[in-house]
Amino acid sequence: MTLIRDQRLRVFHAVALRKSFTDAGHDLHLTQQAISFHIRSLEQELGVPLFNRNHHSVQLTKAGIILFAHAEKIVALYGEASRSLAELREESTLRLRIAATNSIAKYAMPAAIRTFQSRHPKIQIVLEVGNSTRVIEYLNQGVVDAALVSDGVPISSNCRVTPLWREQIAFVVSHEHPWASREELSIDDLLATPIIMREKGSGTRAILERQLSAVSLSFNHLKIALIVGSPEAVKKAAQAGVGVGILSTLRARHSISSHDLVLKRIDGFDLTRDFYVVRPQNGSAAPMLNEFVSIVQGAMA
């Protein structure tokens, strides 16, 4: 594949090198008539003859010598550009660019990346991390090839969405919190106690808002004690007794197993969320990406 848009310059360069219309045609896979047409068109546009022709040879005119000096540089530059782009294509085939939400990145990605790279040691994984909204932005900006994201955030119609995983959203409290020893909790208990809330753009926050709306409530009915920008901050604040935290079970499992937090459920207020693989609608379903997604699913189970 050539980047040279003016085929005439490419033909002129070949004829000047080979000193033969016939040989240039063989090199370029063009007929002699086509070669003659391109040279004649170029000479007419420039207003000067480029070759002295006779039965035995083709020689450059003074104008042809001048043009050939520039053509050499132009052809060399196009060749360099083509090689650079080829290197980029080769490099991109050895790189998998993924964006993932905080929960997936921390609790599923390390094991998944380790497994994938043990099978494909030459493939580099580039991982971008953020809340659900930020992860979709990475995809829309072309920074990544695919996004692993939870529901609750807008996804462009230009994207292809594939289910990845479903999980429960947990309410967590410290061992000293009044909820810690209670067996049953209601929505009224939720409304009466301080809540630790994630920032706008968080999938967890969007799901809570959606569930509140389903029972004719909103954030205005909650006693929001603190708004934080990461799941880790939710955990720390809950451990410190600031209030009730809301976390994915993917994250909560670790804290519960290490006895840092107590997981609680509210009757009639079960929160679930789905995770998806999102990729551009016109993007290729590369086997490499599909394999990696399958490994992530296993790590999240």
17, 21, 27, 33 alpha-carbon torsion, rounded to 10°: 150
Handedness of CA 17, 22, 24, 27 (dihedral sign): negative
Q: How confident is the model at residue 163 (pLDDT cuts 50, 70, 90)?
A: confident
Q: Can you give the length of the chain in residues?
A: 301
Mean pLDDT in residue range 280-288: 69
Q: Which of 252, 221, 217 is nearest to 234 (CA)?
A: 252
Q: Is the pTM of this model over 0.85?
A: no
pLDDT at residue 162 greater than cutoff 80: yes
Judged against a pLDDT cut of 60, whether residue 178 lies above it is answered with: yes
Using pLDDT thresholds of 50, 70 and 90, give the confidence band for residue 260: confident
What residue ranges do the domains of the chain occupy? 7-92, 93-165+274-300, 167-273
Same-fold call for 93-165+274-300 versus 167-273: yes
**Mean pLDDT to the nearest integer, 126-138:** 90
Q: Look at the block and give the residue holding tokens 């994938």.
A: 116
Q: Assign a CATH topology to domain 93-165+274-300.
A: D-Maltodextrin-Binding Protein; domain 2 (3.40.190)
Class of domain 167-273: alpha beta
In sequence order, what are the beta bridge partners of 149?
Answer: 276
Fold of 7-92: Arc Repressor Mutant, subunit A (1.10.10)
d(CA 15, CA 281): 45
Instruction: Give the mean model confidence (pLDDT) for residues 117-133.
Output: 89
- Predicted confidence (pLDDT) per residue in 28-65, tens digit: 889 989 999 999 999 999 999 999 988 777 899 999 99
Question: What is the pLDDT at residue 283?
Answer: 60
pLDDT score recorded for residue 1: 43
Q: What percent of the chain has pLDDT over 70?
A: 90
pLDDT reported for residue 87: 59
